[in-house]
């Protein structure tokens, strides 16, 4: 899940709940660990639903927004990403 941090242990601002460990991570650091070059991070496409970060396109989907077997409808997102370099 990707969301704004209500906890003080994580710096304020956008955070991601990593699909790997289920813990909150600072979004900027998470993108760095995913090996997205620093020059490309500001232009990395993100999907926000109801003021909550749902997905970093091509990198991670929020645990809260992952499809489950009981879901009747799914949202498909396509993007053509042109980095700002």
Name the nearest CA neighbour of 23 among 31, 15, 13.
15
Phi/psi at 33 (nearest 5 deg)? -65, -25
- Could you report the per-residue pLDDT of 29-42, keeping only the tens digit for each? 888 888 888 888 88
In what order do the strands lie in the sheet containing 2-4? 2-4, 14-17, 24-26
5-63 confidence digits (pLDDT tens): 444 455 566 777 777 777 777 888 888 888 888 888 888 888 888 777 788 888 888 77
Count how many residues are written for the chain: 85
Q: Pairing mode, if any, of strands 46-49 and 52-56?
A: antiparallel
Contact 14, 4 (CB under 8 A): yes
């Amino acid at each position: 899940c990707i969301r704004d941090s209500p906890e003080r242990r994580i710096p304020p601002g956008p955070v991601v709940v990593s699909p790997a460990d289920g813990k909150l991570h600072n979004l900027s650091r998470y993108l760095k660990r995913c090996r997205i070059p620093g020059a490309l991070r500001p232009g990395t496409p993100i999907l926000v639903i109801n003021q909550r970060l749902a997905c970093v396109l091509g990198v991670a989907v929020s645990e809260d927004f992952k499809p489950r077997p009981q879901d009747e409808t799914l949202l498909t997102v396509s993007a053509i990403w042109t980095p700002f370099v």
